[in-house]
Amino acid sequence: MDSSTDMSATMRIHQPYPGLFAYYDGRIAGKRLHSPEPNWLDDGAYSLGVASFALVSGHEALVYDTHISLDHARAIRRHLKSLGVTSIRVVMSHWHTDHVAGNGGFADCPILANSLTIETLKAKREVLENKTPPIMPVVMPTESFDRQLSLTIGSWTVELLQFDIHSADGTVLFIPAMGVLLAGDTLEDTVTYISEPEHIHRHIHDLKRMAELPIRRILPNHGAEEIIAAGGYPPSLIEANRLYLERLLSRINDPHLGEDSLAVFAEPEISSGATIYFAPYEEVHRQNIAVLRGALPDE
């Protein structure tokens, strides 16, 4: 594709709450950003829909994930500048490609991540630099925390909380005054993506722990644009993601498991409205079955 094309041209900006902005891109039928060939940007992020977020108060902003390209990061910064923001801090949800690719656009800002994210980024730096498309440069976090950290952004207080869901280094951002959870990839609609199948029991445990938070609404990085724009998902999304993992685990040795479509397998959660069926997650479901079968011993 033309390298001069602004990759953020299809990004949409929403304001689900006063001072909280969602930068959403993807879920456009037939549209690809990088190439027709398989690649992480188009197939792992853009096709499923991807959002980053910013919490703004006065001249301060907290950016949660830097999006899928440097163009997207620059577009976020232009928007924040238009709001009068002069001070930006970044929080990383975890180390995966579609959450760190825009770090270079915030290289002059403090970038916070938990210690495990930093360790993993160091270990995976060469891998990320050789992805298709490459993430170059891989800009590292400048500040670390472990387990929990409170931050003040203007008039807002936010809590950074560490969860082992989807990846061991997950960081979510909870805004107590709003009751809003920025969930990163710990929660998805239609179903969670299993990237570390050997940790599935921890994922289930931490989903139960997450459900104990006083959450009113959830804004995941991958979800339906209209729901994110309207304020996010109810807390039932946590249970829906947990039930999916528990059902998958209970049936993993069923030879007929792969015969069920995701629409059939997740029908209880879809019917209840806890999740919304989105056809591209059929491939995620097939991958989840494959990686989980490869990681667990035969019984």
Which domains does the chain possess?
12-295 (3.60.15.10)
Alpha carbon distance 219, 289 (integer Å)? 26
For the chain, the C-alpha Rg in angstroms (whole number) is: 18
C-beta atoms surrounding 18 within 10 Å: 8
Could you list the pLDDT tens digit for every one of the 299 residues in the chain?
344 589 999 999 999 999 999 999 999 999 999 999 999 999 989 999 999 999 999 999 999 999 999 999 999 999 999 999 999 999 999 999 999 999 999 999 999 999 999 999 999 999 999 999 999 889 999 999 999 999 999 999 999 999 999 999 999 999 999 999 999 999 999 999 999 999 999 999 999 999 999 999 999 999 999 999 999 999 999 999 999 999 999 999 999 998 999 999 999 999 999 999 999 999 999 999 999 998 665 44
Whether residue 145 contacts residue 92, with contact meaning beta carbons closer than 8 Å, is answered with no
Residues forming beta bridges with residue 144, ordered by sequence position? 113
* CB-facing half-sphere around the CA of 293: CA atoms within 13 A: 14
CA 121 from chain centre, in angstroms, equals 16
Span between the terminal Cα atoms of the chain, in Å: 48
Alpha carbon distance 265, 163 (integer Å)? 26
Q: Which two tokens stand for residue 223?
A: 């979800």
CA torsion angle 212 215 221 222 (round to 10): 80
pLDDT at 183: 98
pLDDT at 135: 94
pLDDT at 297: 54
